[in-house]
Amino acid sequence: MDKNHLDDLRIQVRDITFDIIRQIHKRMDMSKQIGNIKKTLDIDIEDEKVEQELKNQVSILSNELGLDNEFTGKIINLILQESVKIQKNFVNSTDNNIQTHMAIFMKAKELEKKGKKIIHMEVGEPDYPPPKNIKKVLSTVYDKKYYHYTEISGIPKLRESIATKLDKKLTPENIIITPGGRFGVFAAIISLLKFGDELIYIEPSWPAYKECADLLGIKTRVLNTNINEDWTPNISNLEKLINVNTKMIVLNYPNNPTGKILDKTVLDKIISMARKNNLYVLSDEVYSDYSFKKFTSLLDYEYENGIIISSFSKRYAMTGFRVGYCISTTSIISKIKKIQATAITSVAEPMQYCALSALENETNSNCDLIKDRLDFIVERLNKIGLKFIKPDGAMYVYPKLNSTRFSNDMELVNIMLDHGVAISPGSGFGKSYNEFIRLSACQPTELLKKGMDILEKFII
Ligand code: PLP
């Protein structure tokens, strides 16, 4: 009897599963039609408002049926992501044409190979050298036998030194050395979030957070900020983005590309909202040593679901050494460790010893140098009459183009490149920012002057 009943139920379950697949097929077919209409009407593929409404309605239905809201939310995210993908393929979305600062950097490198001289105002790569004492480390690597695998989370001496330098309460177990801050971001996201979860980040933004989430099937929700509000995130808009599937909010201050540092009162509100909703906070602080006003680190909050990303790349001008680190609770660090073990085993030992020596150096002069150069760019932008917020930190200025001579940022970026100056299009930091450009202060002032002279010619 029981066996017959089981067989019967299995047949019904199979039929229902078939029905679900047929319905999904029907839905995807409709997505194509919607994509076609959007193409004709020339409207954006992604519509946060429509998605949110659908999610809210499904949440109500899910409650009525007594289903787990988080589970139904994930299914909806999955379906929505697939629909967007179908529509984008079908419509040949303009998103595919957006170019990031890295794409311009690569173009500039190609031009240099052909013999063209380029002033690099597009990337955030210091033009000054790393500390001198690293040279000695590099020359002794072989004799000292620094050529082995290390502990997954990095050599203890390096983690101890970082912990001591930062805060007495930190232990080496709170730190994992990663190959650059970028891998730290990736490892933190992949170890804490799953397919169908949601991550909030703030635009304009360094593109890697979204790229990382997209790669992993994590739904991103964007909190847009604007120049008229000094790039300060609106807390009530942030609250509206949080739902049962939200797992993480990403912060990046001092900010790339705007140079903004949040006021502590705003940060307080964000952290308390994260706490209330049990969210991870990923705070990318790779520019913290380039702060021209008081910067409050997430470390100061002792937030149990916080992960701080830091790096030797900007602070010590060590981009090519590929050494960064994550700071968090031992339980989060052990999750990140699993990803690191699977992906890379450990960071190259010689590079970790170089980083250890770098820690002996003060970096105030790097910060002063960048500040002076930014002040120079700021003065020139004021003369040209472009609107921007004076950077509080980092290495960039993010002015708004008010010229009617260009239909968008890329037009100016291409003209500038033709004239030997690489700058970044604003849209690379969020598609709605195509009236902006990002200027980086990683060249000597004489070159920045030449670059600004050329920019002025096309702007005025
Ligand atoms: N975070 C931000 C905001 C960045 O701008 C960058 C690099 O430009 C990084 C992280 C990554 O730096 P790295 O991987 O070299 O440590």
DSSP state string for 246-300: EEEEEE-SS-TTT-----HHHHHHHHHHHHHTT-EEEEE-TTTTSBSS----GGG
Q: Is 313 in the pocket of ligand 1 (CB under 6 A)?
A: yes
- 308 and 324 in one domain? yes
Tell me whether residue 305 is in a domain.
Answer: yes
C-alpha 241/C-alpha 222 separation (Å) is 8
143 in a domain, yes or no? Answer: no
The Å distance, Cα 211 to ligand 1 centre, comes to 13
Domain boundary among 358, 378, 399: 358
303 and 319 fall within a common domain: yes
The structure tokens listed for 175 are 């730190």
124 lines ligand 1 (CB under 6 A): yes
Is residue 142 included in any domain, yes or no? no
How far is CA 130 from each of CA 90, 109, 164, 213, 394, rounded to the nearest angstrom?
Answer: 48, 22, 22, 32, 18
Calpha distance 77→81 (Å, rounded): 6
Regarding the beta carbon of 311 and ligand 1, being less than 6 Å apart is answered: yes
How is the beta sheet containing 437-440 ordered, strand by strand?
A: 119-121, 421-425, 437-440, 396-397
pLDDT tens-digit map of 279-328: 999 999 999 999 999 999 999 999 999 999 999 999 999 999 999 999 99
Q: Is residue 134 part of a domain?
A: no
CA of 187 to the centre of ligand 1 (A): 14
CA of 311 to the centre of ligand 1 (A): 7
Same domain, 60 and 177: no
Residues 22 and 123 in one domain: no
Q: Which of 457, 334, 329 is nearest to 384 (CA)?
A: 457
Please name the residues in contact with 87: beta carbons below 8 A apart, sequence gap of 6 or more: 31, 32, 34, 35, 38, 45, 93
Range of the domain at 222: 148-358
Query: Does residue 310's CB lie within 6 angstroms of at least one atom of ligand 1?
Result: no
Q: Are residues 79 and 107 in the same domain?
A: no
In short, whether 324's Cβ falls inside 6 Å of ligand 1 is: yes
pTM of the predicted structure, to 2 decimals? 0.92
Residues 345 and 427 in one domain: no
- How many other CB atoms sit within 10 Å of the CB of residue 24? 13
Tell whether 285 and 323 lie within a shared domain: yes
Whether 319 lines ligand 1, by a CB cut-off of 6 Å, is yes
179 lines ligand 1 (CB under 6 A): no
Last residue of a domain, one of 315, 342, 358: 358
Q: Distance between CA atoms of 70 and 59, rounded to whole angstroms?
A: 9
User: Is there a single domain that holds both residue 164 and residue 238?
Assistant: yes
Residues of the chain with confidence (pLDDT) below 50: none
- Look at residues 339, 358, 377 and tell me which one is the last residue of a structural domain: 358
Residue-wise pLDDT for 25-73, tens only, equals 999 999 999 988 988 888 888 888 899 899 999 999 999 999 999 999 9
pLDDT score, position 91: 62
Q: Does any domain span residue 139? A: no
Residues 188 and 111 in one domain: no
Q: What is the rounded distance in angstroms from the CA atom of residue 352 to the CA atom of residue 366?
A: 21
The CATH number for 63's domain is: 1.20.59.10
Residues 396 and 420 in one domain: yes
The answer to whether residue 344 is domain-embedded is: yes
Q: Which ligand 1 atom is the nearest neighbour of the CA of 206?
A: 3
How far does residue 30's CA lie from ligand 1's centre (Å)?
40
3-state secondary structure of 242: coil
Residues 348, 391, single domain; the answer is: no
8 A C-beta contact, residue 259 and residue 392: yes
SS3 34: helix
- How many domains does the chain contain in total? 3
Q: Verify whether ligand 1 is closer than 6 Å to residue 181 (CB atom).
A: yes
**264 closest CA partner among 253, 275, 280:** 253
Helices (H), 307-385: 312-315, 330-343, 349-358, 364-384
Strands 246-251 and 280-284: parallel
Q: What is the arrangement of strands in the sheet containing 198-203, beginning at the earlier edge strand?
A: 175-178, 324-327, 306-311, 280-284, 246-251, 198-203, 219-224
| Shortest-distance atom of ligand 1 to CA 179 | 14
Residue 187 shares a structural domain with residue 263: yes
Q: Give the nearest ligand 1 atom to 123 CA.
A: 8
The answer to whether position 71 is within a domain reads yes
Indicate whether residue 180 lines ligand 1 (CB < 6 A).
Answer: yes
Which ligand 1 atom is at minimum distance from the Cα of 125? 8
Q: Which of 261, 311, 325 for a ligand 1 pocket mutation test, highest count of atoms within 8 Å of Cβ?
A: 311
How far apart, in whole angstroms, are the C-alpha atoms of residue 237 and residue 258?
Answer: 20
What is the reported pLDDT for 95? 58
Ligand 1: which of 102, 201, 206 to mutate, most ligand atoms within 8 Å of CB?
Answer: 206
CATH number of the structural domain spanning residue 317: 3.40.640.10
